[in-house]
Amino acid sequence: MASDPREARLRTRAQIEAIPLGGRPLVVCDVDEVALEFVIHLENHLLRKGFRLLPRSYGLTGNIVLDGTETPATQDDVRRLLHSFFAEDTHLQTPVAGAAESLSILSEWADIVMLTNMPDAQREIRSDTLARHGMAYPVVTNTGPKGEAVRHLADRAGGPVIFLDDSPSNVGSVRKAVDEAFLVQFIGDPRFLAMATPVEGIHMLTGDWREALTLALGVLGGADPERLPPGTVAGRESESGTR
């Protein structure tokens, strides 16, 4: 991670300014646990490094322990382990079910930007991984709360802004900075979803892209049931019973 927060903010800002946003509505999508599965890959990484994740409460802090013990890893260890995960395993991450298909449908109505908290050094690997899984959208790396970055993006959008992220602090920060944004607290891992508390002011807490897609299409005014995949809440299957 960047050691100088000001430098990191400027770098994020420069990345945002380099994206050719076309005055359309905007979907700002987090990557880890929203577009790409994160927790299961982190668990594998931790085991290789002699640690283990105990999913006993929402969050990583205090739940990463030395393997075979209940001794929590230190803050320094957690920082080091996340760093080594991003450096060594980012390319292995697999897509969250429905993410690529949903973002592809949304891209007909909105610009899509992937806003991810990770070291900038891995941005290209992350971009390649996303593209390999059908999500070739601009990737912006960020450090810390995402409110400021989403504010800059929203200022360049021409229509509604939808923000999806699993992190309560990111969702809360965007709520404060961009009060017009539609907020989806999206947690792909079912164990962590079950332990999550909805952040105040969100429009949806889910781990299901069909639900998120239905909400987003409603916001974007593109909610034509004929265009939604079968099984989507407002899609053909649920419609068929009423016709």
**Binding positions for Mg ion, rule: CB under 5 A:** 30, 32-33, 166
Least distance from Mg ion to the Cβ atom of residue 128, Å: 19
Of 116 and 214, CB closest to Mg ion: 116
* Residues paired with 95 in a beta bridge: 36
Of 30 and 111, CB closest to Mg ion: 30
Least distance from Mg ion to the Cβ atom of residue 32, Å: 4
Least distance from Mg ion to the Cβ atom of residue 59, Å: 12
Of 109 and 192, CB closest to Mg ion: 192
Of 66 and 87, CB closest to Mg ion: 87
Q: Which residue is nearest to Mg ion (CB)?
A: 32
Least distance from Mg ion to the Cβ atom of residue 34, Å: 6
Of 15 and 117, CB closest to Mg ion: 117
Amino acid in the structure at residue 47: L
Element (H, E) at 7: helix 5-17
Least distance from Mg ion to the Cβ atom of residue 53, Å: 15
